[in-house]
Structure 1
Amino acid sequence: MMEHIHQLLYAIICLHIKSDTGELSPSMLSPIGIFTETLHKVNTFMEAQQHGSRIRKFFRQGEMNILLKECNMGLQQALNIFGIQSMSLLTDINKIKQYAKEKHEEVLELIASLSDANSSDQASSMNRVFSSSYNSSTSFSMLPSEPKIFHGRESELVEIIQLFTQESPRIAILGAGGMGKTTIARAVVHHHQITRKYAQQRYFVMCDSVSTAVGLAALLVSCLELKAGKNLTEQVVHHFVSSPPSLLILDNLETLWEPLSSRGDIEEFLSCLTDIQHLALIITMRGSERPAKVRWTRPFLLPLQPLTQDAARKTFIDITDDLHNTEDIDKILLLTDNMPLAIDLMAHLVDSEGCYRILARWEEERTSLVSDGYNKQSNLDLSISLSLSSPRLISIPNTVDLLSILSILPDGISDNELLQCDLHIKNILTCKASLLRTSLAYNTEQKRLKVLLPIREYMQKFHPAPFSFVHPILTNFHNLLEL
């Protein structure tokens, strides 16, 4: 639904841009009116889901389903009309997207060209690039909100807080995409002990928008509300050296650390930061590896695993309310393998459409059912695809092939079975190690290499295993059955 709204907004913008008079033609006013009415219905639907008692929601479920159907029909009607009226709209939308992409690349080139030897004028221009994202008056106002639903990660939270009894810990929160690394970091930064210890010297920086160490330094300069100088890295380090004890959280650091071209610079920058004795550092990263050149505080936090069934059920009920019976809830959770992101997305769908409808849709749509969003927090397919694009993965040939094979093995496979299948994959154990490092696969207690169900479904849809790999697997299992 949100994707359709997004497309229609793009279409209206295109029409306005193309108009010579700055006004829309009369023939397009009616479709826009229909679209506006549909938006009102969508708003009514969303408000109805957010307010009202559980009993009232239960009795109005049929009414809400009708309203949801009308919303979808209205959006589809508007899409059809715009498609008929202007065959070039899609091209125009793509041009806008391409223009935005080109501008983004220009910013990245500016970051890449900026070195510590550049003039302060260049550094100032870089600072202005990020100032629009960080225009609050204090660092406290830039902190993300505290998680309102937080089940199954209490032990990890306690473990992290315990590490703060040591002087300025350096902690890496690791795990697969969608496991809740950012959620834990948000819980930490708002924990009463952390608030009391660091007060307004808490900084939460999302690293998705930058790709180099200099870019990260520029982002921090803006976040810290410093006036950019000639040497951004030294400026950041000097600020923390002269500041009271501080906590810096770098979220999604893998976006900078993954590429080999920037890894060395990032690790050197982290090393400089961790030389500051009174600066505590937390990073969140996909995978199970920690950056080098940092003395990470022990004991290490283990990579996050799926939630327990009890925690998954509590999370689901907190989102959907307790109108659904336990059997239906468990059927839904079975599709998520208790991955927090998948639970969150599925629960919100169930809240609006009900368990029965979502279970029926899953049979047709699979992971596409929870992949309408525009970022990795609201789009499961996008989150998985980001993990698949990891340089740690693509640098080793056939690793994706191995993941495709695992996607058809719900019980996983042991090392012996993997070698016995004779898959003709060179360095197959190296491929296995790559999947473990990126947390796309994990070892069970029985030492079997296994993949979570949402990832298996994604791979079967977008990267199905070739028959040349499936056949040896089937042959090996057939031979085992004959023994």
Structure 2
Amino acid sequence: MVKQNKSDCAELMEQTNELINAIILVYIKSDTGAELSPSVLMEISKFTETLHKIHAFVEAQQSGSKVKMLFRQGEMTTLLKDCKAGLQQGLDFFHIKTYSVVSDIKELQENARRQQDEVLGLIETFSDTASAEMGIFYAGSYTSSTSISMLPSEPKIFHGREAELSELLGLFQQGTPRIAILGAGGMGKTSLAKAVLHHSEITARYGQHRLFVTADSVTNAVELAAQIGAHVGLKPAADLTQPVIQHLSAGPPCLLILDNLETVWEPSEFRKELENFLSLVTQVVHVAVVITMRGAERPSNVAWTRPFLPPLKPLSQIAAQQVFLDITDGGYEIEEVNSVLNLTDNMPLAINLLAHLVETESCSTVLSRWEHERTSLISDGYDRRSNLDLSISVSLSSPRLKSSPHALDLLSLLSILPDGLSDAELLQSNLPLNGILGCKNALLRTTLAYSDEHKRLKVLVPIREYMQKIRPPGDITIHPMLKYFQQVLELYMAYAGNQNSPEVVARVTSNYSNIQNVIRNGLHPGHPDLVDSIYCACHLNSFTTASGRGKNTLIDRISDLLPRPCNPQLEVHFIAEFFNSIKYHGTSNADRLHLEALQHFDKFEDADLKCRYYDILARYYLEHKNDIPTATDLCESGLALAVSAGNVRRQCDALDHFAWIKWYMGDHHAARQYAFEAQRLARTSGDSSREAQALRMEAMCLTVLGDYQKALDLCARAQNLVPLCGIVGGDLDHCIRSSEAEIRKFKSEYVQAQTIQKQILEDASLQREPYMHAIALLNLTEIDLFITSPDVVRTNLKVARSLCSTTAALRLVNWCDAIEADLILSEGGTVAAKRLFIKCFLESLGSESELSLWCLERLGNVNRWASDHPSTSTWPVLLLAYSVKYRDRLRINQAL
């Protein structure tokens, strides 16, 4: 038997090494940090779970107790079988998938190199002209700065570009620069150029020899030369190209600013001619040249001064607020201002137009009109500097988009994806767009999209709104995104809590708004993606409730959309999620939905879903109905099914709820045993979340039993596991910290306990987590009884009671009554306090021992209370019997 165990261990080690090498081919051989697909992450999560089982098996062989091994032989045989099956599944998957994964990574590498070449190199010319199409935007364009008799005025309101202005002036200090100011339409390129033009250092250096030439209405290099010639006073001629160069060469040092140069540079048939002319101009050593252009590309044949000025980004929030308030002359609450700025993504042109509109109307009126008119609200101007839609349409007409026929389809899809997409997501979502990375590059080159600090491809709000109006995305691109997000959410549901969770949680978090919009698209009667959208909405709701975001509003739309005839598995899935978030929406339909779910159980075979349903319903009957017998029956059903299905995660859930049942009944020793067994199983499967839950439960038991230091140690261990789950700041995190505060309170460390509860109250916002917010406020009120004035306690208690009354948890209302009784007692209201304590005791008797004990402790400190209530002459006997049962906690006065 010993030899066989050694042989099994050696075989497991050999297969583990082989599988790790297969995974290394994906991670190391590629030499990249690319995101892996959901299917690969799923297999890695399974392998992680298998590794923990292998560790448990090997550790058991080294225990040294043959008797113990004999009694656990059946358990070890099952564990060994699971280990071998898990390793074989991983080997089968990674030997097949390695090649395709590495191929995807190589494509990402090639894309990265291509982007670097585009940034550092000079962009070659592209075919396919669009000059005729663009003519409708450029012909007849007029601006106040087209006059050749004067320079354009200096910007009167100029915030948020101080760093760029300083960088530009620094380039002038190095010599005679050639600078390109790039960026999206409406990003403030012209304003920055004017700020340079009028800066004191520039006026001192060039005096009257500053030229500001707009290229809005020119179509080729000859017309641009004619514009420059008119500004320097040359006589009109058929071609002033050479005369302009000669004049600049013979003249004094000067600054030449060419505004909106993309107008003449965009058409490919005239581009080379323009670049040759520009090259001649920049070769005049004493002429400084500054151009402004839409996009992220600079014309070739010019030795642009380094370092390049990066394309302009939106303004910072503070700068955007300053611009808005300067235009509107203030007088608005900052919350109102931010609400308007949210519509602009801090794009300067959009800020300017909306601020002027607010100046004549109001923030509330503009916000209301935006709901109906969108970008049309600020698109009544006569040119692209006063008309947002026109400005965006100019960018959309760029011939640079012609090289990627599906670029506009990608832009259309991004219009409903406010979180943007990473390169890996672009590839893994299987969008039906040829040359997807080429489409991305086309959008970046025209700055219709941008890459944020996390290298996610995003689109600004005004452009997103415009695209949804003129070219909304179709199901042909939305459907693949839904399937991709469904894979990610299913991965989260399957392995939430294990040590691969942080990566999955991060992926859901980075796509949270994207996922909501894609699901919302499919939540319509008769939509072909309705069923998948409902599943995704349920998964997303599970994620939001666990991660501290509260209930997802999409869940409220599902009950009226369930397809008929009913899909039994889908309906049970929805009902389970309804009960999972019941603390957010009440229990009015709870009993009816429970009966419907039970009627469907025989119609499908999903054991994991059934176990989850039993677990969620047990929590509901325990916490919201105070029905311990029903909760116990549900836990027994769930545990039996989980054991028969070999589902360790669901076994942990059932054991955790058995522990809670024993806790409410006051049997803290039994509760601790259930919690200890749940910890053991969670460690076997590498489930950090469930191990942390069980550690917290054991800590609470030890608190009741008086071992405060060990309880704090267990809380610390549980807290250390939370980051491994990727859910810092979520419901589990708050519960563990709340338990620590409770222990501190029992140790009379009231200030420390108060600090913890205040932090939880701040983290668990009233809007997102009303249930946890109510609990934190209630706990804080209880602590304040010891260290704060009665008026403060009474005020907080009133708010807490109001919240508890709306969170569908009767037990919280009872706690409000108990704390109020304590407050009354502290102010000398003995009779009223006794009555309220007795009421709380009776209502919690048999359903929540913690509250029962709490009330008894308070009653035990009240002298001669029985004589005030002749009808309660049996109370001393009842209290003494209760105190014997819970003698490890109660401290009843000798008077009883």
TM-score, with structure 1 as normaliser: 0.71
Q: 1:216 aligns with which of 224, 229, 234?
A: 224
Calculate the aligned-residue CA RMSD, in Å: 1.8
Give, as a single letter, the amino acid of the residue that structure 1 aligns with 2:279: S
Point out the more displaced range, 319-328 or 222-231.
222-231
- In the TM superposition, 1:16-165 aligns within 5 A as 134=147, 136=149, 142-165=150-173
Q: Which has the higher contact order (CA 8 A, sep 6+)?
A: 1
Give, as a single letter, the amino acid of the residue that structure 2 aligns with 1:354: S
Q: 2:335 aligns with which of 324, 327, 331?
A: 327
Matched, 1:185 2:193: yes
Give, as a single letter, the amino acid of the residue that structure 2 aligns with 1:191: H
Cα deviation, 1:121-141, whole Å, max 9, x if unaligned, reads: xxxxxxxxxxx96563xxxxx
Task: For 2:422 and 2:404, locate their aligned partners in 1 and report how far apart those are by CA, in whole Å.
Answer: 21
Q: 1:438 aligns with which of 432, 446, 460?
A: 446
Matched, 1:380 2:388: yes
Task: For 2:353 and 2:379, locate their aligned partners in 1 and report how far apart those are by CA, in whole Å.
Answer: 9
1:304 is matched with: 312
2:562 is matched with: none
Report if the CA contact (8 A) 2:213-2:257 is conserved: yes
1:405 is matched with: 413
Q: Which has the higher helix share?
A: 2
Give, as a single letter, the amino acid of the residue that structure 1 aligns with 2:384: K
Report if the CA contact (8 A) 1:134-1:222 is conserved: no
How far residue 395 of structure 1 moved from its aligned partner, in angstroms, is 3.0
Matched, 1:365 2:402: no
Instruction: Indicate the SS of the match to 1:301.
Output: coil
Instruction: Indicate the SS of the match to 2:182.
Output: strand
- In the TM superposition, 1:337-352 aligns within 5 A as 337-352=345-360
How far residue 209 of structure 1 moved from its aligned partner, in angstroms, is 0.8
Task: For 1:471 and 1:358, locate their aligned partners in 2 and report how far apart those are by CA, in whole Å.
Answer: 34
Task: For 2:307 and 2:484, locate their aligned partners in 1 and report how far apart those are by CA, in whole Å.
Answer: 41
Task: For 1:374 and 1:385, locate their aligned partners in 2 and report how far apart those are by CA, in whole Å.
Answer: 14
Q: 1:481 aligns with which of 489, 497, 511?
A: 489
How far residue 231 of structure 1 moved from its aligned partner, in angstroms, is 4.4
Instruction: Indicate the SS of the match to 2:179.
Output: strand
Task: For 1:439 and 1:378, locate their aligned partners in 2 and report how far apart those are by CA, in whole Å.
Answer: 19
Cα deviation, 1:73-101, whole Å, max 9, x if unaligned, reads: xxxxxxxxxxxxxxxxxxxxxxxxxxxx9
Task: For 2:196 and 2:235, locate their aligned partners in 1 and report how far apart those are by CA, in whole Å.
Answer: 29
1:84 is matched with: none
1:456 is matched with: 464
Task: For 2:462 and 2:147, locate their aligned partners in 1 and report how far apart those are by CA, in whole Å.
Answer: 35
How far residue 327 of structure 1 moved from its aligned partner, in angstroms, is 0.5
Could you say if the C-alpha distance between residues 177 and 135 of structure 1 is closer, same or farther in structure 2, counting changes exceeding 3 Å?
A: closer
How far residue 269 of structure 1 moved from its aligned partner, in angstroms, is 0.3
2:621 is matched with: none
Percent of matched pairs sharing the same residue? 59
2:122 is matched with: none
Matched, 1:203 2:217: no
How far residue 444 of structure 1 moved from its aligned partner, in angstroms, is 1.4
Give, as a single letter, the amino acid of the residue that structure 1 aligns with 2:229: V
Instruction: Indicate the SS of the match to 1:335.
Output: coil
Report if the CA contact (8 A) 1:174-1:286 is conserved: yes
Cα deviation, 1:244-265, whole Å, max 9, x if unaligned, reads: 0010000000001111111101
Give, as a single letter, the amino acid of the residue that structure 2 aligns with 1:206: T
Cα deviation, 1:414-458, whole Å, max 9, x if unaligned, reads: 111111111121111001001011111111111211111111100
Point out the structure with max Rg over C-alpha: 2
2:280 is matched with: 272
Task: For 1:472 and 1:408, locate their aligned partners in 2 and report how far apart those are by CA, in whole Å.
Answer: 14
Task: For 1:259 and 1:247, locate their aligned partners in 2 and report how far apart those are by CA, in whole Å.
Answer: 26
Cα deviation, 1:95-154, whole Å, max 9, x if unaligned, reads: xxxxxx99x98x99xxxxxxxxxxxxxxxxxxxxxxx96563xxxxx2100000000001
1:316 is matched with: 324
Provide structure 2 residue ranges, at least 5 long, that are not aligned to the other structure.
1-134, 492-896
How far residue 394 of structure 1 moved from its aligned partner, in angstroms, is 2.6
Task: For 1:319 and 1:151, locate their aligned partners in 2 and report how far apart those are by CA, in whole Å.
Answer: 12
Cα deviation, 1:166-193, whole Å, max 9, x if unaligned, reads: 2210000000000000000000000001
Report if the CA contact (8 A) 2:146-2:213 is conserved: no
Q: 1:390 aligns with which of 370, 382, 398?
A: 398
Task: For 1:333 and 1:221, locate their aligned partners in 2 and report how far apart those are by CA, in whole Å.
Answer: 42
Report if the CA contact (8 A) 2:181-2:189 is conserved: yes
Report if the CA contact (8 A) 1:203-1:248 is conserved: yes
Q: 2:258 aligns with which of 237, 250, 255?
A: 250
Q: 1:238 aligns with which of 246, 254, 269?
A: 246
1:225 is matched with: 233
Could you say if the C-alpha distance between residues 134 and 383 of structure 1 is closer, same or farther in structure 2, counting changes exceeding 3 Å?
A: closer
Task: For 1:435 and 1:135, locate their aligned partners in 2 and report how far apart those are by CA, in whole Å.
Answer: 35
Report if the CA contact (8 A) 1:274-1:281 is conserved: yes
Point out the more displaced range, 409-418 or 227-236.
227-236
Task: For 1:318 and 1:445, locate their aligned partners in 2 and report how far apart those are by CA, in whole Å.
Answer: 29
How far residue 412 of structure 1 moved from its aligned partner, in angstroms, is 0.6
Report if the CA contact (8 A) 2:226-2:239 is conserved: no
Q: 2:184 aligns with which of 170, 173, 176?
A: 176
2:361 is matched with: 353
Give, as a single letter, the amino acid of the residue that structure 2 aligns with 1:193: E
Task: For 1:414 and 1:360, locate their aligned partners in 2 and report how far apart those are by CA, in whole Å.
Answer: 34
Report if the CA contact (8 A) 2:432-2:476 is conserved: no
How far residue 465 of structure 1 moved from its aligned partner, in angstroms, is 0.7
Could you say if the C-alpha distance between residues 409 and 134 of structure 1 is closer, same or farther in structure 2, counting changes exceeding 3 Å?
A: closer
Instruction: Indicate the SS of the match to 2:236.
Output: coil
How far residue 223 of structure 1 moved from its aligned partner, in angstroms, is 1.5
Task: For 1:470 and 1:448, locate their aligned partners in 2 and report how far apart those are by CA, in whole Å.
Answer: 18
Give, as a single letter, the amino acid of the residue that structure 2 aligns with 1:439: T
2:291 is matched with: 283
Give, as a single letter, the amino acid of the residue that structure 1 aligns with 2:225: A
Give, as a single letter, the amino acid of the residue that structure 1 aligns with 2:210: R
Task: For 1:224 and 1:191, locate their aligned partners in 2 and report how far apart those are by CA, in whole Å.
Answer: 21
Q: 1:294 aligns with which of 289, 302, 305?
A: 302
Provide structure 1 residue ranges, at least 5 long, that are not aligned to the other structure.
1-100, 109-131, 137-141
Task: For 1:421 and 1:155, locate their aligned partners in 2 and report how far apart those are by CA, in whole Å.
Answer: 38
Give, as a single letter, the amino acid of the residue that structure 2 aligns with 1:334: N
Give, as a single letter, the amino acid of the residue that structure 2 aligns with 1:311: A
Report if the CA contact (8 A) 1:312-1:343 is conserved: yes
Give, as a single letter, the amino acid of the residue that structure 2 aligns with 1:440: L
How far residue 218 of structure 1 moved from its aligned partner, in angstroms, is 1.1
Give, as a single letter, the amino acid of the residue that structure 2 aligns with 1:341: L
How far residue 386 of structure 1 moved from its aligned partner, in angstroms, is 0.4
Report if the CA contact (8 A) 1:259-1:391 is conserved: yes
> How many residues matched?
353
Return structure 1 stretches of 4+ with deviation > 4 angstroms. 132-135
How far residue 403 of structure 1 moved from its aligned partner, in angstroms, is 0.2
